[in-house]
Amino acid sequence: MKKGIITMSVLAIIACTITAYCWAAGNESVSESTNVAQSLSGQQVKSTSQNAKGKALVVYFSVPETDGVDASSGASRLVSNGKVMGNTQYIASVISEATGSDLFEIKTVHTYPGSHKALIDAAKVEIDNNARPKLATHIKNLNDYDVVFIGFPNWWYDMPMPLYSFFDEYDFSDKTVIPFCTHGGSRFSDAIKTIRELEPKASVLDGYAVPRDHVSEAKPNVLNWLKRIGMAE
């Protein structure tokens, strides 16, 4: 009888331990899924720290609008230190300042309209035509960089077409590519998968997505993310 009581006690302790572990794991998963910003896994953090041996470059494409915004385009603007900036431009500046990285803006030969409706219509036409807009700016010393952040707004659940022109122009083999985007609810959509297909010899991380409505207060979260991946102290 005494032996039976001891056995039941041991089983009860084991059951409590398993229950506590499962509860903690579940809460960790919930915390990750409800986090506004997309974090990287431990393996990816390790990879970033190991690969960040040289200079880093922050590349971005951004079009500040002159009127309203729409969830499907993800493009917008804000004012920082008296300067009107596109959402992605602002996040790029935060990353550049925090990491001491050089900053490069992707510009096209043609100018995108500032009006929201005209802008998303133009973007849709480019996507439907699989266009490759001609770029007006070019990186002359890409070989100097081991880590390249690449930022863009989510337009029509995809990267803006100038990003396709950009990836067509450069080879990111053996480099670490860290995407970041601003969006109206769709995060990266399939952009990470697309970048990996376009640059199969690069180490492309899952990146960081910032909701359009949270850009103005995103800086602390961006800084914490950069610390987690070993790109800032």
pLDDT in tens, 28-40: 222 222 333 333 3
d(CA 74, CA 76) in angstroms, rounded, equals 7
Beta strand extents in the chain (DSSP E only): 55-60, 77-80, 83-86, 102-105, 145-153, 176-183, 203-204, 208-211
Q: In the predicted model, is pLDDT for residue 176 greater than 60? A: yes
In a domain, residue 49? The reply is: no
Contact call for residues 58 and 149 (beta carbons, < 8 A):
yes
d(CA 152, CA 137) in angstroms, rounded, equals 16
Tally the domains of the chain.
1
In a domain, residue 36? The reply is: no
Give the CATH number, domain containing residue 66.
Answer: 3.40.50.360
What local confidence, expressed as pLDDT, does residue 121 receive?
Answer: 95
Contact call for residues 145 and 110 (beta carbons, < 8 A):
no
Which residues, listed in sequence order, are joined to residue 180 by a DSSP beta bridge? 151, 208
Per-residue pLDDT reduced to its tens digit, 102-159: 999 999 999 999 888 999 999 999 999 999 999 999 999 999 999 999 999 999 999 9
- Comparison of pLDDT for 116 and 97, the residue scoring more: 97
- Three-class secondary structure assignment of 166-195: HHHHCCCCCCEEEEEEEECCCCCCCHHHHH
In a domain, residue 9? The reply is: no
In a domain, residue 133? The reply is: yes
In a domain, residue 29? The reply is: no
Q: Output the six-digit token pair for 37.
A: 């910003």
Give this prediction's pTM: 0.74
d(CA 187, CA 180) in angstroms, rounded, equals 9
What local confidence, expressed as pLDDT, does residue 86 receive?
Answer: 87
Contact call for residues 60 and 105 (beta carbons, < 8 A):
yes
Per-residue pLDDT reduced to its tens digit, 50-81: 344 469 999 999 998 876 544 444 346 565 66
What local confidence, expressed as pLDDT, does residue 155 receive?
Answer: 93
Domain, as residue range, for 123: 60-229
What local confidence, expressed as pLDDT, does residue 68 receive?
Answer: 52
In a domain, residue 90? The reply is: yes
In a domain, residue 52? The reply is: no
In a domain, residue 168? The reply is: yes
